[in-house]
Structure 1
Amino acid sequence: MLRQHPEIRALVGPSAPTAFAVVGLVALQYLLAYAASFLPIWLAAVFAYAVGVPVAHALGVLIHECAHDLVFRRPDENRWLSILANMPLLFPAAIDFRGKHLAHHRRLGRQNEDTQAPTRFEIEVVGDSYARRFFWLSVGPVFFHGTPVKNPRLIPSKFFLAANFVACVGTMPLIFWSSPSSFVFLFVAALLAFGPHPVGIRRYAEHVSLAKTQPTNSYYGVWSRLAFNVGHHVEHHDFPNIAWHRLPRLKTRAREYYEPLLAVPSWSALLIRFLTDHSFGLDRYSSRGPKVRASKPPSRHPRDRGHLGYEEFLLNGRAVVSAKTLYGFERLARIGKLARRR
């Protein structure tokens, strides 16, 4: 891809203005929590689902940007910014997420090595039960921690883990004492931002198996645009050193690589399917298999542009592969070398 599109190199690098988005969203979430203090607790929870969850999810996306050092050039500056973004989310996860997510990029789709894939224990416990799926989606990040990080260089320092813990947990009593409704607002928003909400299904949608040669999936709908283009997930795994606002430009410049790929048509529809359809379970998480080349199939509709809906994909009873070129894991190594040279 880089040989065909050398201009992509200009997209690589951090974007310091993203820090203003972090500060603005943190202030907005606390302002919304203050507004929730005037509501009864049950209405504060509803307010959190409708308004607080998208903001909390966007903060999670910015924590992800910090994990890749895509805001500042120095890693420690990104760590401190991620701790700030984590504060309204209450659960101290930013620093731990950083190590696991970087390991996930290195071991994407490898069974028992992908740090963000459901473990065999999770798959067996959840099974086909819709109730247990709902439980896993609601509180899974709290009770299940995935495969541990084995690379010593990616294990977070105790100092930053402690700072993350104090910044988040230390504010809980103050918030609860000032207003239980405000605390409920922040708690519900943080929990459901990665749970049973259209934005919360993202962590499953990104790696649900759609094609043998495609371990990641993108989504280009409205929720992605409201969350710093986090839906450009294939593009991100190809070039994890490109900041969020440049990912659409990457897709445009290398459209022959991305348009033929399968994409998730709707997070909302996938959420419903995950909770009501046996075909969508934790065992559908992509695993790395043998390299299989595939050609682009003819489009089923002028608007498809190579993307199939879930109904068509599943009801046919067969896996439709639609990759113009093999989605290669080895490309990540080349991208890493490019970033180090810069």
Structure 2
Amino acid sequence: MSAAPAKQIDYSLFGGAESFDRAPRRTVVTAPTSKDDGVSYPGPPLNPNEFLWLMTEEPHRSRRTAIMKAHPEVTKLMGHEPLTKYVVLFVVSLQIATAISLRHTSPLSPLFIFCAYAIGGTANHNLFLSIHEITHNLAFRSIWANKCLAVFANLPIGIPYSAAFKGYHMEHHRYLGEDGVDTDLPTRLELLCLNNVLGKVFFATFQILFYALRPGFVRSQKLTMWHLYNVVAQLVFDYILVSVFGIRPLIYLIASSFFAGSLHPCAGHFIAEHYLWDGLEQETFSYYGPLNLLAYNVGYHNEHHDFPSIPWTRLPALKALAPEFYDTIPSHPSWSMVIINFIRDKEVGIFARAKRLSKKSCKCFSSTCTSR
């Protein structure tokens, strides 16, 4: 009597890995074309000793123009989202309440660490992304009101950063991939020091520090009164919290921020968004999985870069409106597997980022430009 055939396992449910014995296909497409069948690798490995330098303009402006021409009704999706302020209020309240409830718990106890990772890491990651959403002025019509809400959302993070983030993030959109301007890009020092398995483990563990400290080393920012408001509000909040409830609630909040940008499932989006995969010269990747529910739909990242004026609640509607533009773009099936593949796969690493010269130093963006 012959044995029953083994059940075929759909490894895509676990993040797209067909096998743990070889490098998996890491990106998927909804509607494969003749150039990409959704299984094979479409390009050769990248040079692990250098970033990928492109002389073409970033892709989002041209796709935005094409979508607006094909679907002029897309403008109806633009505008602020009133729901955002209520989500921010809930998460801020949750974090403060959790921090206070742990005031008698040792920071080294399993309960404290579990809460800081599972509850605090998820909540503070949500607040990081609420500030991202507010930075685009999508919570209120008033710019002043958006800035105030960003300062408020910053409170459970423990360290003031919302005002500084706004300037750097706007440059990230406006000058995507431009060396010395887009501070989302790794530096050459990072490439030299972290281009190995241990280096990638270190980078993935301390992502939050790289994103917090790198901008100051790459490009200084002009300080404004909002930077001062952000710092003062945070210091006053931290002082009151420690004075009334002791140091442990503040330790919880800062630990939550660390976990939010470390080896946490939600933190996979930091790597997933703009690292290059599968030999593709694709600078932005989306993710359409369930973690978007906790992350202001930041996984819809191609959609967000194409239309930064569309709030998080309407990004799925944008994808549904223009499937001919989005369904053929490779996307990530799992943020968790992005972190795992980033660390273990030698074909992906710090080098897997597209860079272009700053427009100030090179005005040519044609495909035939050879200036470097």
**What's the TM-score, normalizing by structure 2?**
0.72
Q: Return the letter of the residue paired with 2:275.
A: V
Higher relative contact order (CA 8 A, sep 6+): 2
Q: Return the letter of the residue paired with 1:227.
A: A
The answer to whether 1:251 aligns with 2:310 is: no
Tell me which residue corresponds to 1:12.
Answer: 78
Query: Quick one: which of 217, 227, 251 aligns to 1:161?
Result: 227
Query: 1:67: Cα distance to partner?
Result: 0.8
* Structure 1 unaligned residues grouped into runs of 5+: 293-342
Tell me which residue corresponds to 1:317.
Answer: none
Could you report, residue by residue, the CA deviation over 1:177-224 in whole angstroms, capped at 9, with x for unpaired residues? Answer: 413332222111112212221112311210011364521111111111
Query: Quick one: which of 218, 224, 241 aligns to 2:309?
Result: 241
Residues 147 and 243 (structure 1), Cα distance of their counterparts in 2 relative to 1, 3 Å cut: farther
User: Which segment drifts farther, 139-148 or 23-32?
Assistant: 139-148
Tell me which residue corresponds to 1:139.
Answer: 209
Query: Quick one: which of 68, 88, 91 aligns to 2:136?
Result: 68
Query: Quick one: which of 193, 197, 201 aligns to 2:260?
Result: 193
Residues 262 and 181 (structure 1), Cα distance of their counterparts in 2 relative to 1, 3 Å cut: same
Distance, in Å, in 1 between the alignment partners of 2:348 and 2:216 is 19
Q: Give the conservation status (yes or no) of the 8 Å contact 2:183–2:214.
A: no
* Structure 2 unaligned residues grouped into runs of 5+: 1-66, 358-364, 368-372
The answer to whether 1:209 aligns with 2:276 is: yes
Q: Return the letter of the residue paired with 1:165.
A: V
Q: Give the conservation status (yes or no) of the 8 Å contact 2:271–2:339.
A: no
Query: Quick one: which of 103, 119, 124 aligns to 2:187?
Result: 119
Distance, in Å, in 1 between the alignment partners of 2:231 and 2:225 is 10
Residues 169 and 141 (structure 1), Cα distance of their counterparts in 2 relative to 1, 3 Å cut: farther
Q: Give the conservation status (yes or no) of the 8 Å contact 1:44–1:184.
A: no
Tell me which residue corresponds to 2:160.
Answer: 92
Could you report, residue by residue, the CA deviation over 1:248-297 in whole angstroms, capped at 9, with x for unpaired residues? Answer: 000000011011111111111111223333333221123359778xxxxx
**What's the TM-score, normalizing by structure 1?**
0.78
Q: Return the letter of the residue paired with 1:74.
A: S
Distance, in Å, in 1 between the alignment partners of 2:203 and 2:261 is 13
Query: 1:115: Cα distance to partner?
Result: 2.3
Provide the aligned length of Structure 1 versus Structure 2.
Answer: 288
Residues 93 and 186 (structure 1), Cα distance of their counterparts in 2 relative to 1, 3 Å cut: same
Query: 1:136: Cα distance to partner?
Result: 4.0
Tell me which residue corresponds to 1:334.
Answer: none
Residues 284 and 250 (structure 1), Cα distance of their counterparts in 2 relative to 1, 3 Å cut: same
Distance, in Å, in 2 between the alignment partners of 1:144 and 1:138 is 10
Q: Give the conservation status (yes or no) of the 8 Å contact 1:22–1:59.
A: yes
Q: Give the conservation status (yes or no) of the 8 Å contact 1:114–1:147.
A: no
Alignment of 1:173-322 (within 5 A): 173-177=239-243, 178-210=245-277, 212-288=280-356
RMSD: 2.3
